[in-house]
Chain A
Amino acid sequence: MSNILTIAMPKGRIFEEAVGLLRKAGYRLPPEFDDSRKLIIEVAEEGLRFILAKPMDVATYVEHGVADVGIAGKDVLLEEERDVYELLDLKISYCYLAVAGLPDTNMNDVAPRVATKYPNVAEAYFREQGEQVEIIKLNGSIELAPLIGLSDRIVDIVSTGRTLKENGLVEYERMVDVTSRLIVNPVSYRIKDTRIDELVTRLHEVVS
């Protein structure tokens, strides 16, 4: 059994913050780490291997055990419902999920349509509100949907609210707060317990 810990990191927005946090926790990561285009980066001195995945896929790699731990947004965990341990709130990449749409509009009575990157979250949310909606799955630029009449509402991540504003949309409901979480594969959690406990302790100390 290798003692190398494989960490799935989300590419893009969260990546830099996550790397910053690991450095703050005392992990010596090489400087070229930040602008490498490699998908797998070994840091032999620390016994770590990083894989760089799409944020939405991080939990998948961890659930299947090809990565021991991962850093994933709560939005991803809610949407994907993967069988992984959610051990620590890293309190980075703060944002929230919200329902938005064009101002002063109502949802269509017969077939309210909601466009989103998070079909499971959106459906569960509206069901809890006692509303049956039709979900249209999109992969990005969700704000476009109400503007050109694809949907009445969108469910999307909001961090500053600027994108909504610039596109003339307003927030109707704030659904749930989102931060990045440290997630762990259930087998790794038991087999590599010492290393993972150490990672959790070190990160816990530097999480504000």
Chain B
Amino acid sequence: MSRLFMFEKPLGMRDTLPELYEKKLRVRSVMAETMKLWGYQFIETPTLEYYETVGAASAIVDQQLFKLLDKEGHTLVLRPDMTAPIARVAASKLLDEDLPVRLAYSANVFRAQQREGGRPAEFEQIGIECLNEDTVSCDGEVIALLISSLKKAGLRQFQVSIGHVGFAQELFMQILGTNGRATALRKFLYEKNYVGYREHVNSLQLSSIDKQRLLMLLQLRGGEEVIGNALDLIENGKGKQALLELRELWDVIKDYGVEEQVKFDFSIVSHMSYYSGVLFEAYAGNVGFPIGNGGRYSLIEKFGKKATATGFAVRLDMLLEALGELDVKNSTHCIFFSQERRKEAFQLAKEMHRQGKSALLQDITGVKNLDAFTKKFAGTTYLIGGHTDE
């Protein structure tokens, strides 16, 4: 282990300097305001959770978890997402009355870097969970709120792609027969390896019609018409139900009037079986990673309560990148004073604060480079010696 320099911080940890802080604050408050208007209540959960419970239930892979030990020798994790902690607290406390619960959060989550730099290991997520409510209306509400809050935050061009885990799974089961074979094929989808998917399909002992059905899955993305195309591929059962759900969801989304931002994509699959129904990702054109994602999940069951929930999480850092340059000028006014007029300066500041204006007091003898310092402020007043200078 090499000796650390004093300026170093752990890999992937970043400072938030004043300008960025202001931007984050502004975007966060607009998003949070929207969520509150829709009736979602904010909660906080601990930064540390048990590895065995929340750590294991989380969708984040083990290698990305920050782990430490407590005094008893239990392994702890820095929470890698907010969904699992909320599922824990909901199952153990909030769902006792068996009613729908709508929660929101903005919190930092921690994911260790697996490879090189260029990504933060701690970042803020802002999101919602609609728990113990399993209607399509609820899925639609969550997607509509995602879109509304992104719009409110000032994001112009973005897209939400919606898929459904039930469809691909059912199509695979119908054609391939066993769970094992379905999982093998789904792995290619999860790894985004379409070349491998096609090769695998072509190597299977299947009729050419069935092969064609499996290959068509990769083409199923676009607008509402995609649901019709998907219906042609499936015979009946669960897969059909998934499509009927999506059709209804589309109607809900249209009634919310946010269909312009929505597309369908049946190739979106989650790893393992984290999501249990609808799932979606949000993309902005100028950011290489999804800015947010969500879906319906049954994670709460792992914490001992039979309920499903739908939610989304937006990555504040990605959203800020997508928003580009935000105009956050320092609006603070600087009042320079000398000893003789100190009291007068204090009164002026007090008056400005009363009016809700940001004003800073600075003893003139405390600044070495006055030109450089004054540049940082929206305006200045000098209460020095015998006269006032604006």
A residues lining the B interface (CB < 8 Å): 1-2, 63-66, 83-89, 181, 185-188, 190-193
Q: Is B157 an interface residue (CB 8 A)?
A: yes
Question: Using Cβ atoms and an 8 Å threshold, which residues of chain A touch B118?
Answer: 64
Cα A1 to Cα B288 in complex, Å, equals 13
Question: Using Cβ atoms and an 8 Å threshold, which residues of chain A touch B157?
Answer: 1
Shortest Cβ distance from residue B230 to the other chain A in the assembled complex, whole angstroms: 17
Residue of A2, A66, A86, A187 touching B283 (CB-CB under 8 A): A187
Interface contact B288-A88, CB-CB below 8 Å? no
Cβ-closest chain A residue relative to B160: A190
Interface contact B194-A85, CB-CB below 8 Å? yes
Question: Using Cβ atoms and an 8 Å threshold, which residues of chain A touch B196?
Answer: 86
Interface contact A1-B285, CB-CB below 8 Å? yes
Interface contact A89-B195, CB-CB below 8 Å? yes
16 sample A-B contacts, Cβ–Cβ < 8 Å, listed by A number: A1-B157, A2-B285, A63-B288, A64-B118, A65-B288, A85-B192, A85-B194, A86-B192, A86-B195, A87-B194, A87-B195, A186-B289, A187-B283, A190-B159, A190-B283, A193-B221
Q: Is B341 an interface residue (CB 8 A)?
A: no
Residue of A1, A181, A193 touching B286 (CB-CB under 8 A): A1
Shortest Cβ distance from residue A202 to the other chain B in the assembled complex, whole angstroms: 16
B27-44: CB near A (< 8 Å → 1, else 0) gives 000000000000000000
Shortest Cβ distance from residue A62 to the other chain B in the assembled complex, whole angstroms: 8
Interface contact B194-A185, CB-CB below 8 Å? no
B residues lining the A interface (CB < 8 Å): 118, 157, 159, 161, 192-196, 221-222, 263, 265, 281, 283-290
Shortest Cβ distance from residue A80 to the other chain B in the assembled complex, whole angstroms: 9
Closest 7 CB pairs between A and B?
A65-B288, A1-B285, A85-B192, A187-B283, A89-B195, A191-B285, A86-B193
Question: Using Cβ atoms and an 8 Å threshold, which residues of chain A touch B286?
Answer: 1
Question: Using Cβ atoms and an 8 Å threshold, which residues of chain A touch B221?
Answer: 190, 193
Shortest Cβ distance from residue A179 to the other chain B in the assembled complex, whole angstroms: 9
Cα A121 to Cα B94 in complex, Å, equals 48
Interface contact A181-B159, CB-CB below 8 Å? no
Interface contact B195-A181, CB-CB below 8 Å? yes
Q: A187-B284, A187-B290 are in contact. List 11 more A-B contacts (CB 8 A).
A: A1-B285, A181-B195, A185-B288, A187-B283, A187-B285, A190-B159, A190-B161, A190-B221, A190-B265, A191-B159, A193-B221
Cβ-closest chain B residue relative to A65: B288
Question: Using Cβ atoms and an 8 Å threshold, which residues of chain B touch A181?
Answer: 195
Question: Using Cβ atoms and an 8 Å threshold, which residues of chain B touch A1?
Answer: 157, 285-286
Question: Using Cβ atoms and an 8 Å threshold, which residues of chain A touch B265?
Answer: 190
Shortest Cβ distance from residue B145 to the other chain A in the assembled complex, whole angstroms: 20
Interface contact A191-B283, CB-CB below 8 Å? yes
Shortest Cβ distance from residue A97 to the other chain B in the assembled complex, whole angstroms: 16
Interface contact B192-A83, CB-CB below 8 Å? yes
Cα A86 to Cα B287 in complex, Å, equals 19
Question: Using Cβ atoms and an 8 Å threshold, which residues of chain A touch B222?
Answer: 193
Question: A63-B288, A186-B290, A193-B221 are contacts. A88–B195 as well, Cβ < 8 Å?
Answer: yes
Shortest Cβ distance from residue A172 to the other chain B in the assembled complex, whole angstroms: 25
Question: Using Cβ atoms and an 8 Å threshold, which residues of chain B touch A191?
Answer: 159, 283-285
Cα A188 to Cα B286 in complex, Å, equals 9
Question: Using Cβ atoms and an 8 Å threshold, which residues of chain A touch B159?
Answer: 190-191
Residue of A89, A187, A193 touching B287 (CB-CB under 8 A): A187
Cβ-closest chain B residue relative to A61: B288
Cβ-closest chain B residue relative to A184: B192
Question: Using Cβ atoms and an 8 Å threshold, which residues of chain B touch A85?
Answer: 192, 194
Cα A131 to Cα B193 in complex, Å, equals 27
